[in-house]
Structure 1
Amino acid sequence: MSAPLELIDIGANLGHESFAHDFDAMLARARAAGIVQMMVTGASRAGSRHALEIARAHPGFLYATAGVHPHHALEYTDEGDAEMRELHAAPEVLAVGECGLDYFRDFSPRPAQRRAFERQLQLASETGKPLFLHQREAHADFMAIMKSFDGRLGPAVVHCFTGTYEEMRDCLDAGYHIGITGWLCDERRGLHLREIVRHIPADRLMIETDAPYLLPRTVKPAPSHRRNEPMYLRHIVEELARDRGETPAQTAAITTGTARRFFGLPRP
């Protein structure tokens, strides 16, 4: 039997409706797989409220982020900003986001995405909290907006990184952390990640499932459904360790230590 690992999932959408029917069993499977703490992602106004509720129900194990994803950018009104500020007064909410830019889907107009992003960066600058960031097909605008806040922000992680080596270097040179998901395990679109993850410094690397999305395609036997869940974080660590030339225990230790420092997580 393989050695136990101590893992932190920095991004799981546990408020998703697909978890409603077996939530407690899903958490039990996560614990059995070595997950000691998780960040529940808030990606909309309602979703952020729900993330906080979930975190409050599982103190010491679950924590929350609060933010508005670019898909929901039109929600970020003055009222929405006030609601985010109220949520960020809660001790369980440890990061601003998920926020950023998404020019791949363009579910919200790009000017609205940029405004919502800037307002959340302003919130992060005022609270001093870390940033949980989303960027897809918008690298140049994303970096320009982030750089306009140089010197005013705390730590930042580019969650679910899927970009090029050059984009990763831009993020690392700017001081950002990198979040790696099961995208790494996708032979159709993640092969480049296997080549570049070895270049992420240990103190900038974190891991996440982005559950229920991005079920690792290399999980064997493949489940009968496509729902990802936190217990598969262990599989991602094993794949990532191989690509970095490390043991799973080494990769687990560095990513857990980095996540604990980044979010200010207490030891469970």
Structure 2
Amino acid sequence: MNLIDIGANLTHESFDHDRHAVMQRARDAGVVQMIVTGASREHSPQALALAREYPGELFATAGVHPHHASEYTAECDAEMRVLHAHPEVVAVGECGLDYFRDFSPRPAQRRAFEMQLQIAVDLAVDGIGKPLFLHQRDAHDDFMAVMRQFDGQLGPAVVHCFTGSREELFDYLDQDWHIGITGWLCDERRGLHLRELVKNIPAHRLMIETDSPYLLPRTVKPAPSHRRNEPMYLAHIVEELARDRGEDVTVTAANSTATARAFFRLPPTPPMPPATLATAG
């Protein structure tokens, strides 16, 4: 299987001591390309740096997660726009709303979200806005209201790490947005409802991600002692997803990879051989 992980937080400090080994394990598990999530003023430039270190294999997003919305100043907006001038940065975000933790005040979250949506509009190519990598947790109504402010102006969007309700899922699908599924699917405490919901996602709207180092699939046995998720477990997620959808795993894998490559406008060329990549940087 050739897989694409559309959301990996590879700039996280837990990867600092073995990032090259993490990359190799991902390759060995069939992960041919990854999108490195830029979710803050600090980590978005780091995501770009990683993408440039692994050309053709890693790509980046650039944005500010709602947890960090308080840092989204005019200067931050200018910095994001500079990052988006680089071809390795393939989506705006991670951006959106998170009322579950409220690490930033809700008005600040909405303002940062609106400003980043405007970036996507301003970076339109042939009338199609730059892809959006979106976050929503416990803020569905306000999330939809902000998105409606930009009706007819936005390009493709993926609601990353979807964990929501049936109503939320169909609201997103009605907008022709994409859905990102993580190892949350494998959590018997919180994710059982997703086992049924994923059957309703059209293949051309479905993508897969680890959100590593978070959300280690609880069905991985034996579980690693460190409990850190990493991209190699994407193969496990796609197996669980295929079972729930009643599909052969090769079909689910091929469809999600084709969808991700089209969504992020990734090159079809394969990555450099592992031996070459191991000496990069």
- Where does the alignment leave 5 or more consecutive residues of structure 2 unmatched? 124-128, 271-281
> Paired residue for 2:40?
44
What stretches of structure 1 move > 6 A for 4+ residues in a row?
A: none
- Choose the corresponding residue for 1:31, options 27, 30, 43: 27
User: d(CA) in 1 for partners of 2:74 and 2:51?
Assistant: 26
- State the Cα distance separating 1:220 from its structure 2 match: 0.9
User: d(CA) in 2 for partners of 1:153 and 1:125?
Assistant: 6
User: d(CA) in 2 for partners of 1:98 and 1:165?
Assistant: 23
> Paired residue for 1:8?
4
> Paired residue for 2:14?
18
Identity of aligned residues (%): 76
Give me the CA root mean square deviation.
Answer: 0.5
> Paired residue for 1:87?
83
Question: What secondary structure, in the 3-state scheme, does the structure 1 residue paired with 2:17 have?
Answer: coil
Q: How many pairs were matched up?
A: 264
Q: Name whichever of 219-228 and 132-141 sits farther off.
A: 219-228
Residues 146-196 of structure 1: per-residue CA shift (max 9 Å, x gap): 011010000000000000011000000011100000000000000000011
Q: Note if 1:239 corresponds to 2:235.
A: no
Letter in 2 for 1:213: Y
> Paired residue for 1:202?
203
> Paired residue for 2:55?
59
Q: Note if 1:160 corresponds to 2:165.
A: no
> Paired residue for 2:72?
76
Q: Name whichever of 154-163 and 222-231 sits farther off.
A: 222-231
Residues 127-155 of structure 1: per-residue CA shift (max 9 Å, x gap): 12100000000000001110110100000
Letter in 2 for 1:176: W
> Paired residue for 2:126?
none
Letter in 1 for 2:66: P
Question: What secondary structure, in the 3-state scheme, does the structure 1 residue paired with 2:154 have?
Answer: coil
User: d(CA) in 1 for partners of 2:170 and 2:229?
Assistant: 29
Residues 44-69 of structure 1: per-residue CA shift (max 9 Å, x gap): 01100000001000000000000000
- Where does the alignment leave 5 or more consecutive residues of structure 1 unmatched? none
> Paired residue for 1:123?
119
> Paired residue for 1:223?
224
- State the Cα distance separating 1:225 from its structure 2 match: 1.5
The TM-score with structure 1 as length reference comes to: 0.98
